[in-house]
Structure 1
């Protein structure tokens, strides 16, 4: 009886030992339990969570949404007090009107300068005609004076008329040159005034943009997070008011580097979602991270130490969720999933 008991106990011990060994081999995927399916529970649902922040500083005048509300692109989320920005826009518009008036005055001055030039050219032509008459008169009087036919007084008067005609011509030419220089100065100043008008127009556009930015709208369709904006609250530019989560989501699975040898883009993926009672969904490998996750951390590990312990690094793998799955609409960024990839399947 004792011998039978000992034999039975030995068989049980051997069976337990074999079972434990089998469990270890299965857990570590060692022969004969090797499999082409790679699995990890270090995986999560991801999405493009957009932080909504104001571009201006001011007091919140209206909060038009509530926590976790669905919104459409362009829907008003909140408004800032716009009175200051409305006055800045009016101020910019008044400055633009003044610059345009100055430009119009410059145009009028240009036309006046061109008219002065035309008048100066006419005066020069008249002075030239008067000079020609005075020269002709002197050319007649001078020979008569030499022969004694005319008096010295008449000759002096003719000579004086000739000199006056020369002086009048010089004065007319000088006045014409002044008018031309005034026109050149007007044209140069016009370029400055045109630049001032463009600057004033830009200031108006900037004021309009600031006024538009007092109304904070949704950049795309999605669902809001908890709304942190409060009526009457003073916010600075860049303050986090809320976040919007679009409906497009995907899975990021962090596999060990030793699991990646046979993985390819396009291979089928099966994953279960903890939040949906481990419901199973399907997808496919979309792309691989260009580096291990440790390379993107703020504090990178420095392995150049004497006490080194090799740790298998994890590489993020992005998994696209196949369309047409009813439960896919319930997925939200941050949910935990368990991902399995059949590395024997073609990519």
Structure 2
């Protein structure tokens, strides 16, 4: 090969190598190709899509809504046959009434027991007085017999009266003790009855919740997605019957790690939506994800291999959409977005 040919081949190799280096610098957004505008088309509109599911099992007897319908919070989406749950509510209310009646009877029994205690105390006081009188009469009669002023028969009668009064006193004391024990039993039993009333009240509340849950309603204002509920369909707890999408949306833009230098919360963002053509929208960077998107993947990448190729990672960036913009109501979750951030804003705020 001539010297000229070798020179030409060397020049071509140098040019190809330089072109490869320039391509790499351009792809990685490194100087001299690095500019102030950072753009990504790996961005999408996001929103809170709430899936609607019943908490109970039963047949659907009413589905008054259709796909993509606007709804307000509390609007009926579907209704489950509530006859069984309504009967359970009535049963729970009946059990509550029975428990309350038992508690009322316990209160009446308590009052009766207190009255019996008062009566027993009065009887005890009367027996005590009778015993005192019998004791006095017996002592007097014994003294008279000793002086031969009374007969032995009179002494025996006084003795019998004293013994009877003493027995009546013991009986009155026992009756008072029994009445007090009856009151204690009623007081202890009342605690059990109060617990039964509380349990019955809780059962009524649970039954009321079940009846209320037969109505599946919109949790907030928004637009329905596809309504999969059908009249007469049997559903169980957790069966998806539709979804509701609120009006509030935002943008998540996945910027490369090499684009994040100088980017921070508060910077303005311009973006377009593929579905809306060239119409431009504005937003504000709100926050950054705590890790790269690959860290949230179900299957993690394993870079500990011999054939490693460095790939720029992406960081999700949350962007709040500025309100009161034309056609903002057309932004719905899932739409593709091209987002652009001018880093000159960061230089201006830092005084550079």
Same fold? TM cut 0.5: yes
Cα 1:133–1:294 change in 2 (3 A) is same
Secondary structure of the structure 2 residue equivalent to 1:207: helix
Aligned residue runs from structure 1 range 124-135, under 5 A: 124-135=124-135
Please give the alpha-carbon distance, in whole angstroms, between the structure 2 residues aligned to 1:29 and 1:176: 100
User: Hey, what's the Cα distance between the residues in 2 that align with 1:37 and 1:140?
Assistant: 126
Distance 1:306 1:154, change over 3 A: farther
Where do residues 94-109 of structure 1 align in structure 2 (5 Å cutoff)?
A: 94-109=94-109
Matched with 2:137 is 137
**Mean Cα deviation higher: 310-319 or 243-252:** 310-319
SS of 2:161's equivalent?
A: helix
Give how far 1:256 is off. 1.6
Deviation at 1:306, TM superposition (A): 5.3
CA distance in 2, matches of 1:21, 1:327: 44
- How far residue 87 of structure 1 moved from its aligned partner, in angstroms, is 0.4
In structure 2, what is the Cα distance between the partners aligned to 1:31 and 1:131? 120
Preserved contact between residue 29 and residue 259 of structure 2 (Cα < 8 Å):
no
Q: After superposition, where does 1:273-292 map in structure 2 within 5 Å?
A: 273-292=273-292
Which position in structure 1 is the counterpart of 2:184? 184
8 Å contact 1:254–1:316 — kept in the other structure? yes
Task: Judge conservation of contact 2:28–2:258 (CA < 8 Å) in 1.
Answer: no
Question: Distance between the aligned counterparts of 1:286 and 1:202, measured in 2?
Answer: 45
Distance across 2 between alignment mates of 1:224 and 1:212: 21
- Report the counterpart of residue 260 of structure 1 in structure 2: 260
CA contact (8 A) 1:252 1:316 kept: yes
Shift of 1:311: 2.8
SS in structure 1 of the partner of residue 247 of structure 2: coil
Please give the residue correspondences for 1:153-232 in structure 2 after superposition, counting only pairs within 5 Å.
153-232=153-232
| Contact 1:264 1:343 survives alignment (8 Å) | no
Does 2:247 align with 1:234? Answer: no
User: 1:316 maps to which residue?
Assistant: 316
**DSSP-derived class of the 2:54 partner:** coil
Q: Which residue of 1 aligns with 2:81?
A: 81
Q: Is the 8 A contact 1:99 1:200 kept in 2?
A: yes
Gaps of 5+ in 1: 1-12
Question: 1:305 and 1:168, CA in 2 relative to 1: closer, same or farther beyond 3 A?
Answer: farther
How many equivalent pairs are there?
Answer: 333
Match of 1:147 in 2: 147
- Structure 1 CA distance for aligned equivalents of residues 183 and 175 of structure 2: 13
Offset of residue 262 of structure 1: 1.1
Report deviation, 1:304: 4.5
Task: Write the deviation string for residues 172-203 of structure 1: whole angstroms up to 9, x where unpaired.
Answer: 01101110111111111111111111111111
Cα distance in structure 2, aligned partners of 1:302 and 1:153: 120
The alpha-carbon deviation at position 307 of structure 1 amounts to: 4.8
Q: CA RMSD in A?
A: 2.2
The CA distance in 1 between the partners of 2:310 and 2:142, in whole Å, is 122
Secondary structure, counterpart of 1:345 in structure 2: helix
Per the normalisation by structure 2, the TM-score is: 0.89
Q: Residue by residue, what CA displacement relative to the aligned partner does 1:84-120 show, whole Å, maximum 9, x if unpaired?
A: 0010001001101100110111111111111111110
Partner of 1:342: 342
> 2 CA distance for matches of 1:159 and 1:89?
70
Whole-angstrom distance in 2 between the partners of 1:202 and 1:52: 27
Residue matched to 1:8: none
